[in-house]
Amino acid sequence: MGQSSDSHHTSTLKFASSSFQVIRDRKELLRRQRESNGEGIPAKPEDTGLGVKKRLAFLDLLLQGNEKSNQLSDDDVREEVDTFMFEGHDTTTAGMSWALFLLGLAPDVQKRVHQEIDSIFAGSDRPATMADLAEMKLLERCLKETLRLYPSVSFFGRTLSEDITLGGYHVPAGTLLGVHAYHVHRDERFFPDAEKFDPDRFLPENTESRHPYAYIPFSAGPRNCIGQKFALLEEKSVISAVLRRYRVRSALTRDQQLINHELITRPKDGIRLYLEKRK
């Protein structure tokens, strides 16, 4: 649902405060590590004991690099942290909500996803691993098709770096262009019967000849979303956890479900689902 300007301002202040706290806590941990053993954040990935290497967190890399160059203020670091905290929170929440909504309207597709998940976990209740997530090919196609129909950020802007001709019109450098992914994704030249929810649009044979900018849920080019791979992994992890336990059915049709096109593509009044426990 939409927020008032006051509540949005309050949310922004809370995000800034929590980001500063994260930075302060991490810098303090770095200082204590340095004092205790003469080292800071490990320069190389650590062995977790499970046969895999633990990668450095993004914030650790920023702080470690800044120790040497000291080019970033706490405000600069906070802006980077805010990007990850906000963009990796609101956008994925919306994406997962829309995915469950669409799967709740497509019982045939949902049945296939259940079969895929069951084949991976074989009745086990263990947590999903990275290898499990990589096997969820159909679920990934469902998420991509969801982002086609309901891109989490449905519009963004670009400033032209050079003159172009667009639709027969001369557009000079410096012009700010608005790109509306919601409508780009409904171009019938690339997505026939565009309003239909069809995850098989993203089978390899159906994507190899598609124009690379026909599908832009994470923007495109050098300023695209740097967290897009993580977002899909996060969504697969949560959605698969729900579908391992439940069948979902949507209370509203797509015509009945209204959309709020704010910064994030939100379902107006939320998504209403019926959940039936699987045996």
pLDDT tens, 239-261?
999 999 999 999 999 999 999 98
What CATH number does the domain containing 179 carry?
Answer: 1.10.630.10
Query: What sign for the dihedral angle of Cα 246, 251, 255, 261?
Result: negative
Q: Is 2 exposed, middle or buried (0-12, 13-18, 19+ CB in 10 A)?
A: exposed
In a domain? residue 156: yes
Which helix (DSSP H) or strand (DSSP E) does residue 177 occupy? strand 176-180
In a domain? residue 46: no
In a domain? residue 107: yes
In a domain? residue 1: no
Domain of residue 129 covers 54-277
User: What is the pLDDT averaged over residues 203-216?
Assistant: 94
Which helix (DSSP H) or strand (DSSP E) does residue 159 occupy? strand 155-159
Under the banding of pLDDT at 50, 70 and 90, the label for residue 66 is: low
Query: What sign for the dihedral angle of Cα 75, 76, 81, 83?
Result: positive
Under the banding of pLDDT at 50, 70 and 90, the label for residue 86 is: low
Using DSSP's 3-state secondary structure scheme, residue 17 falls into helix
Can you tell me which residue has the tokens 């990796």?
88
Instruction: Establish whether 225 is an annotated binding residue.
Output: yes
How far, in Å, CA of 219 to CA of 70, rounded? 31
How far, in Å, CA of 189 to CA of 69, rounded? 50
User: What is the pLDDT averaged over residues 80-99?
Assistant: 80
Domain count, the chain: 1
How far, in Å, CA of 26 to CA of 31, rounded? 9
The verdict on pTM exceeding 0.85 is no
In a domain? residue 80: yes
In a domain? residue 23: no
In a domain? residue 19: no
